[in-house]
């Protein structure tokens, strides 16, 4: 049987069994593989790293999107940085107060591949008239965009070191540019890679950069089985945020209920529990 191998954050080798290679190649910006796994369904990998698997992509996308959306009292305009799979937009559009979602992903060819090969994940999102897809560089977009975003979601590729081109997507320059496009009390959420008992550097680096741009930052993490690690996220805002270790269960439960929001992958309690990062890891993040 074919297999797809990658190296994890802590140097371990991960392996996915492959029943079928659906598509593979290279766009102008990155290499890609869409494949079908017997245990995880359709999976997509970019530049050697698995980004999502059908069986648990909802766990990742719900954890990325809904904490920020639920902490905001009435999100109307949402900006997605990256998100070419369309699943991040799908989740943001589920909130009834949302009037517009702008998805900015530089790779038009990858977005088109996702439209074709991940339609069961994203077809409703791409068909929604509230979604504006901009295939361009996020820095260029932020130079020209008007203000007025309530929530920003960073669904961007990871970076390994400061020399990696993807590092610019998590830079102080980008966050400074982003601030000018936000409404008062806006919330920014971004994925920040895997967490292990010994590997928190990537998460801490992004958290510190966001902390230089915003008054409040907080961390949370969720289990995504196909990633083989606890997966981490950071929220940033000038408005108060839940402290790491203080689950916002009442807020999540009340607002999800009021919005008629079903969370089939996670649920309000699980999303709130994501803020209770294990103590030994939390201490390393905050040090």
Per-residue pLDDT at 166 = 66
66 lies in the same domain as 45: no
93 lies in the same domain as 29: no
107 lies in the same domain as 222: yes
Instruction: Kindly name the residue from 155, 164, 238, 262 that is annotated as catalytic.
Output: 155
- Is pLDDT larger for residue 167 or for residue 45? 45
Per-residue pLDDT at 96 = 98
> In the predicted model, is pLDDT for residue 161 greater than 90?
no
44 lies in the same domain as 69: no
Range of the domain at 19: 2-53
Domain count, the chain: 2
259 lies in the same domain as 183: yes
**1-5, 43-47, 69-73: which has the highest mean pLDDT?**
69-73
Measure the CA–CA gap between 63 and 245, rounded to whole angstroms: 16
232 lies in the same domain as 143: yes
Measure the CA–CA gap between 249 and 252, rounded to whole angstroms: 5
Which one, of 152, 205, 206, 202, lies nearest residue 179 by Cα?
Answer: 152
The answer to whether 181 and 79 are in contact (CB under 8 A) is yes
67 lies in the same domain as 109: yes
The answer to whether 100 and 77 are in contact (CB under 8 A) is yes
Tell me the DSSP string of the chain. Answer: -EEEEEE-TTS-EEEEEESEEEEEEE-SS-EEEEEEETTTEEEEEETTEEEEETTTHHHHHHHHHHHHHHHSSS--EEEEEE-TTSHHHHHHTTSTT--EEEEE-S-HHHHHHHHHHSHHHHHHHHH-TTEEEE-S-HHHHHHHPPS-EEEEEEE----SSTTSGGGGGGSHHHHHHHHTTEEEEEEEEEEEEEE-SS--HHHHHHHHHHHHHSSEEEEEEEEEGGGTEEEEEEEEESS--PPTT---HHHHHHHHHHTT---SSS-HHHHHHTTS--HHHHHHHH-
Confirm whether 155 is a catalytic residue. Answer: yes
Domain holding 82: CATH number?
A: 3.40.50.150
Per-residue pLDDT at 228 = 80
Last residue of one domain, picked from the residues 36, 53, 70: 53
> In the predicted model, is pLDDT for residue 9 greater than 70?
no
* Spatial CB neighbours of 160, under 8 Å, sequence gap ≥ 6: 202
146 lies in the same domain as 25: no
**Confidence bin at 165 (pLDDT 50/70/90):** low
- The residue behind tokens 């902490």 is 71
Measure the CA–CA gap between 243 and 246, rounded to whole angstroms: 5
Domain holding 36: CATH number?
A: 2.30.140.10
10 lies in the same domain as 130: no
10 lies in the same domain as 74: no
Measure the CA–CA gap between 279 and 88, rounded to whole angstroms: 29
90 lies in the same domain as 227: yes
**158-162, 184-188, 201-205: which has the highest mean pLDDT?**
184-188
Which one, of 225, 234, 238, lies nearest residue 274 by Cα?
Answer: 234
187 lies in the same domain as 78: yes
């Amino acid at each position: 049987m074919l297999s797809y191998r990658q190296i994890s954050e802590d140097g371990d080798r991960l392996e996915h069994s492959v029943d079928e290679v659906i598509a593979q190649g290279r766009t102008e910006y990155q290499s890609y593989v869409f494949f079908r796994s017997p245990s995880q369904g359709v999976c997509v990998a970019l530049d050697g790293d698995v980004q999502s698997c059908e069986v648990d992509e909802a766990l990742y996308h719900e954890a990325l999107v809904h904490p920020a959306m639920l902490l905001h009292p009435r999100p109307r305009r949402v900006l997605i940085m990256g998100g070419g799979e369309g699943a991040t937009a799908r989740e943001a559009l589920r909130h009834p107060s949302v009037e517009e979602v702008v998805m900015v992903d530089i790779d038009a060819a990858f977005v088109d591949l996702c439209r074709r090969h991940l339609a069961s994940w994203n077809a409703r999102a791409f068909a929604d008239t509230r979604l504006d897809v901009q295939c361009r560089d996020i820095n260029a977009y932020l130079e020209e965009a008007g203000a007025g975003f309530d929530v920003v979601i960073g669904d961007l590729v990871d970076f390994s070191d400061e020399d990696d081109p993807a590092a610019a997507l998590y830079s102080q320059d980008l966050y400074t540019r982003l601030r000018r496009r936000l409404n008062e009390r806006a919330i920014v959420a971004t994925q920040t890679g895997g967490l292990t008992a010994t590997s928190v550097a990537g998460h801490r680096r992004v958290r510190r950069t966001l902390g230089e741009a915003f008054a409040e930052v907080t961390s949370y993490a969720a289990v995504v089985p196909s990633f083989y690690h606890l997966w981490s996220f950071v929220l940033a805002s000038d408005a108060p945020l839940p402290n790491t270790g203080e689950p916002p269960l009442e807020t999540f439960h009340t607002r999800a209920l009021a919005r008629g929001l079903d969370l089939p992958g996670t649920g309000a309690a699980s999303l709130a529990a994501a803020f209770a990062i294990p103590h030994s890891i939390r201490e390393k993040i905050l040090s």
